[in-house]
Each structure stands twice: as structure tokens, then as C-alpha cells.
Amino acid sequence: MADEDNQCAHEICTCPTTEDAEYCSDHCKDADDQDLTEISCDCGHTGCGAAMAA
Ligand SMILES: [Zn+2]
Ligand SMILES: [Zn+2]
């Protein structure tokens, strides 16, 4: 199951993760835990979600 191209498990998030991390951030983990539906990812990482507007 090891995959070198790991990506955050949050549906709308495109951030890479480390090998043993399911989510890129607590934000994404919490969002999935709470079954939140977001229109853009708010994890704050550059190049993801709202940050792309810059
Ligand atoms: Zn994200
Ligand atoms: Zn994420």
C-alpha cells in the first residue's frame, strides 16, 4: 500500500503528504471527521484552495 505519490485524503485538498500521514494538516482531518463540505480547501498551504487566488 506504500505509495510515493501520497496526497491528502481530504477530497478537495491537493496537498502532498508524508508517507505515514493521511492528511496534510489538522484542518483536513477535522473537516473529514466532521463531514464538512467545503467549496475550497482552507488548510492554508500554498497552492491549495483559496491560496491559489494569489
Ligand atoms: Zn488543502
Ligand atoms: Zn489537506
What's the gap in Å between 1 CA and the centre of ligand 2? 20
What's the gap in Å between 25 CA and the centre of ligand 2? 6
Percent of the chain with pLDDT over 90: 50
User: Which ligand is closest in space to the CA of residue 23?
Assistant: 2
Of the pLDDT bands very low, low, confident and very high (cuts 50, 70, 90), residue 54 is very low
Taking residues 34-38, report their average pLDDT. 82
C-alpha distances (whole Å) from 32 to each of 3, 8, 43, 45, 54 are 21, 11, 12, 17, 26
Q: Which amino acid is at 13?
A: C
DSSP state of 46: T
User: Which ligand is closest in space to the CA of residue 29?
Assistant: 2
User: Which ligand is closest in space to the CA of residue 27?
Assistant: 2
pTM, 2 dp = 0.74
pLDDT at position 52 is: 47
User: How far is residue 45's CA from residue 3's CA, in Å, rounded to a whole number?
Assistant: 21
Across the chain, mean pLDDT equals 83
| 35, 52 contact by CB (below 8 A) | no
